[in-house]
Structure 1
Amino acid sequence: MHISITDDFDLAKIARSGQCFRVKEFEDGSFRFVTGREVLYLRQSAGGFAVSCPEETWQRVWGPYFDLGRTYSAVQKIIPESDTYMQLAAQEGRGIRILRQDPWEMLVTFIISQRKSIPAIQQAVELLAERFGEAVTTPYETLYTFPTAEQLAGAQAGELAACKLGYRVPYIQDAVAKVLSGQMDLAALATLPDAELFEKLKTIRGVGDKVANCICLFAYGRMGAAPIDTWIHKIIAREYGGHNPFPAYGEHAGILQQFAFYYAIAHKERFT
């Protein structure tokens, strides 16, 4: 199927923006995304994109996943000229979209993300999927679904450690236990106001402010959430004199945080 996307949409930038750890780029310029048991292959072509799914699946699954109901090109216009760093970051990051991902996968993967580089996170996530997920065969490859809480229920600490989870093993076990007991109903959390959602997520071991904000933003679409990791700390210190600029952008803060993060990792020399 061939589709046209008129708003900002850049597959390479989305893949490298640090919000999703299972995107794969192929030599022919196509990209693979996976959510649940749904697998999508996209490649830019004349006037749009060639996609591997039917129209119904695109509308039901992938339109919401890529947040296509929001106009990202308008976000650039809210940045004042005085915020020169954000102007630069938004220009370079143009095409990034906030992916609406599975809450369980976001909970686990961002617990894993602590003190790990993006390649190390990707490796750990794939090991977890291969060991505990289910195989899905496409015309291009065989891959594995991200394991559910039920699939991780019987996992021993040593098995989880073999997936390079390190000190995060008990955090993952706590998340599994809370979800399976009903103490943490991830679907019901979607109905909570932002502040309550944020605090509820932090009741899981290993979920601090940064991880909770990542889950709020990338799983629940709370666009006012702006996670502060090592790179964002550097941006705040170097470009803003230690003053956090993101709260001033309100409901667009999370989008601008992604632009700022993307610019920083593309220009590491500026912050070292």
Structure 2
Amino acid sequence: MITVELDNFSLREICRSGQCFRMHETAENNTYELVAGDKYLKISQAGSIVNFYCSDVEFICYWVPYFDIDSDYGRYIEKVNPRDTYLSAAVQCGNGIRILRQDLWEMIITFLISQQNNISRIRSCIERLCVRYGEKLKAGDTEYYSFPTPQQLSVATEEELRRLGMGYRARYIVETTRSILAGEVSLEKLYQMKYYRRARKELMKLSGVGEKVADCICLFALHHMDAFPIDTHIRQVLDEHYRRGFPNRRYHGMRGIMQQYIFYYELIGERGKI
């Protein structure tokens, strides 16, 4: 077990922030389980003290970058305009959120599934996909399924995916898997792209990937912090609070973080009422 003290870090807020769908709270108080790719993690928190139940090597090599632990989110929070009462309230509500560095392939399929879907249903769809096409693995006494690779998912037909509850998104998953395996869009090259807009444009070559989905992938997998996904919630906020446009210049290089504070506030906080 690795124990660290972290500021601006909340497992509860990260779990409920709508960027990862294979993390859930257990029966143990403030304890969570997470599956990312083929990795499993048990993690708990008491105040600012966070316990990672894994090896030193796995913590340093995988979970530190995954949770963006080395970044100072207090620096981002300090940049918020104090006269912007709406954004200040959103940040106060979700100041423990981190932008996760998740697997690119997993995020492509995840956010294809997320379209016109709620968080609960996204979770169940992804879990069924992993059970059907992923690999059954074990961590101690815990059994879990890895997220299927492009090769593993290549055997899936549109009909099978529809039976798993993917609906119209089944065609996108089949066609996108074929595009990746055929090299029409390269995951490796996407990782190497330094510029957000170039990566976004490349992702939109994939079946079913529009601007919002591409922005989600850029933010939650490629860590392009200027990506600013706009869904119904965010559009309503922009229309109500930022009629002259969101202050992009002030938040250059961190727009995606501000988007997550807003999204969480609308979904979970005082505004969300859920």
Q: Normalising to structure 2: TM-score of the pair?
A: 0.94
Aligned counterpart for 1:258 among listed residues 250, 257, 260: 260
**CA 1:46–1:70 in structure 2 vs 1: closer, same or farther (change >3 Å)?**
closer
Q: Give the match for residue 121 of structure 2.
A: 120
In structure 2, the residue corresponding to 1:235 is in which secondary structure?
helix
Q: Which amino acid aligns with 2:172?
A: Y
Q: Which amino acid aligns with 1:264?
A: E
Question: What is the deviation of 1:66?
Answer: 0.3
Matches of 2:229 and 2:59 in 1, distance apart?
29
Matches of 1:45 and 1:257 in 2, distance apart?
27
Which protein has the bigger helix share?
1
For the pair 1:238 / 2:237, whether they are aligned, the reply is: no
Q: Give the match for residue 20 of structure 1.
A: 20
Identity percentage over the alignment?
Answer: 37
Q: Give the match for residue 181 of structure 1.
A: 182
Residues 23-60 of structure 1, C-alpha deviations (whole Å, 9 max, x = no match): 01101121112222111101124762222101111000
Greater shift, 72-81 or 210-219, is seen at 72-81
Q: Give the match for residue 148 of structure 1.
A: 149
In structure 2, the residue corresponding to 1:119 is in which secondary structure?
helix
Q: Which amino acid aligns with 1:21?
A: F
Matches of 1:121 and 1:113 in 2, distance apart?
6
Question: What is the deviation of 1:139?
Answer: 3.3
In structure 2, the residue corresponding to 1:251 is in which secondary structure?
coil
Matches of 1:136 and 1:78 in 2, distance apart?
43
Aligned length: 271
**CA 1:46–1:237 in structure 2 vs 1: closer, same or farther (change >3 Å)?**
closer
Please tell me whether the aligned partners of residues 107 and 215 of structure 1 are also in contact (alpha carbons under 8 angstroms): yes
Q: Give the match for residue 107 of structure 1.
A: 108
Query: Where in structure 1 do 4 or more consecutive aligned residues deviate above 6 Å?
Result: none
In structure 2, the residue corresponding to 1:41 is in which secondary structure?
strand
In structure 2, the residue corresponding to 1:143 is in which secondary structure?
strand
Please tell me whether the aligned partners of residues 9 and 48 of structure 2 are also in contact (alpha carbons under 8 angstroms): no
In structure 2, the residue corresponding to 1:250 is in which secondary structure?
coil
Residues 182-216 of structure 1, C-alpha deviations (whole Å, 9 max, x = no match): 11111221222211111000011110100000000
**CA 1:140–1:15 in structure 2 vs 1: closer, same or farther (change >3 Å)?**
farther
Question: What is the deviation of 1:140?
Answer: 4.8
Gaps of 5+ in 2: none
For the pair 1:59 / 2:60, whether they are aligned, the reply is: yes
Please tell me whether the aligned partners of residues 94 and 259 of structure 1 are also in contact (alpha carbons under 8 angstroms): yes
Please tell me whether the aligned partners of residues 43 and 51 of structure 2 are also in contact (alpha carbons under 8 angstroms): yes
Question: What is the deviation of 1:226?
Answer: 0.9
Q: Normalising to structure 1: TM-score of the pair?
A: 0.95
Please tell me whether the aligned partners of residues 6 and 48 of structure 2 are also in contact (alpha carbons under 8 angstroms): no
**RMSD of aligned alpha carbons:** 1.7
